[in-house]
Amino acid sequence: MSLRLIFMGTPDFAVPTLLELVAHGHEIVAVYTREAKPAGRGMKLQPTPVAREAERLGIPVLTPKTLRTEEAETQFRAFDADAAVVVAYGMILPQNILDAVPLGCFNLHGSLLPRWRGAAPLQRAIMADDAESGVMVMKMDVGLDTGDVAMAERLPITDSMTAMDLHDALAPLGADLMVRAMGALDRGGLQLVKQSEQGVEYAAKIDKAEARIDWSKPARAVLRHIHGLSPFPGAWCEADVEGEVVRLKILRCTLASGSGAPGDLLDDRLTIACGDGAIRILELQRAGKQAMKPDEFLRGTALKPPMRVG
């Protein structure tokens, strides 16, 4: 048996779920995604990653600006789907859309709800020094990630893990979880549990104003801040390089031995003192340049003690 599904998603994170649902025999009758946006040197319109995959698979693609019109509801209902699967779609589903499929709309969320409801759960989990993250399948309601939860998978967060690393680990894990959830839904055996109202945290959208590194914090907090914002928007600091103040985006680091005034460069391997302890940079990017490893960066940039970044 299989379900008739509407798939709603936009970024790379959603693609594995779409592909796994198709591979397991579910009929994807339509894909909803965000509109193409200009990108690249020529600023040509670029379809979303989900749109590209749907078009390759021959699935109809819709990019409505809103779902709050009667026309949008009529079009949604016309697909006669059993349920909808939503993965990082980027648009709020109003109640009439939630009610338009008989079995409901199911969201794959990148956190262990109720912790990190909201827009940036992966980044916030790393920045908050959480020991683990995960994915959950939730039956959607009109609240912000408040619906009943069906299934979950957990994943440890290590100190070496950036937001992109966590993204790349959770995407296939979530795809497998959603396939299992839709299989249970098809069999009539999907169990739903109400979310606890204890331990609720909101994962607010990342603001670029948060990105500047505060070297006065302990080394572990600095590391988690850097990794939580890598690769976008990227945690940054400034350094005086040969009389020019340059912005350095730090993409990856590790805890290191050493101490000094916060921001002091401690050696010629890009070890930097924090409020307690130190970190050593493993990957960084100068404004307008490609990301580099320290050895490559230092060949073209004089950065060594006694210097301070801020």
**Is 98 annotated among the ligand-binding residues?**
no
User: Tell me, what's the pLDDT at 93?
Assistant: 97
- 251 by Cβ neighbours in 10 Å (0-12 / 13-18 / 19+) ranks as buried
**Is 305 annotated among the ligand-binding residues?**
no
Convert the pLDDT of each residue in 73-85 to its tens digit: 999 999 999 999 9
**Is 112 annotated among the ligand-binding residues?**
yes
CA distance 187 to 218: 51
**Is 113 annotated among the ligand-binding residues?**
yes
pLDDT at 171 over 80: yes
Domain locations along the chain: 4-202, 208-300
CA distance 96 to 275: 52
- Judge whether 48 and 11 are in contact, CB under 8 Å: yes
CA distance 61 to 58: 9
User: Tell me, what's the pLDDT at 97?
Assistant: 98
CATH topology identical between 4-202 and 208-300: no
Paired strand residues for 91: none
Q: Which CATH superfamily is domain 208-300 in?
A: Formyl transferase, C-terminal domain (3.10.25.10)
C-alpha dihedral sign at 295, 297, 301, 307: negative
Stretch 177-199: mean pLDDT, rounded? 96
User: Tell me, what's the pLDDT at 45?
Assistant: 85
Convert the pLDDT of each residue in 204-257 to its tens digit: 999 999 999 999 999 999 999 999 999 999 999 999 877 788 899 999 999 999
Buried/exposed code over 172-196 (b: 16+ C-beta within 10 A; e: otherwise): ebbbebbbbbbbebbeeebeeeebe
Convert the pLDDT of each residue in 258-268 to its tens digit: 999 999 999 98
User: Tell me, what's the pLDDT at 247?
Assistant: 93
**What is the CATH topology of the domain spanning 4-202?**
Rossmann fold (3.40.50)
Q: What is the mean pLDDT of the chain?
A: 95
CA distance 201 to 121: 9
- Judge whether 175 and 264 are in contact, CB under 8 Å: no
In this prediction, residue 302 has a pLDDT band, given cuts at 50, 70 and 90, of confident
Q: Please state whether the predicted TM-score (pTM) of the whole model is above 0.75.
A: yes
CA distances from 114 to 50, 73, 75, 110, 249 (A): 27, 29, 33, 11, 32
User: Tell me, what's the pLDDT at 134?
Assistant: 98
3-state secondary structure string across 16-63: HHHHHHHHCCCEEEEEECCCCEEECCCCEEECCHHHHHHHHHCCCEEC
CA distance 229 to 208: 10
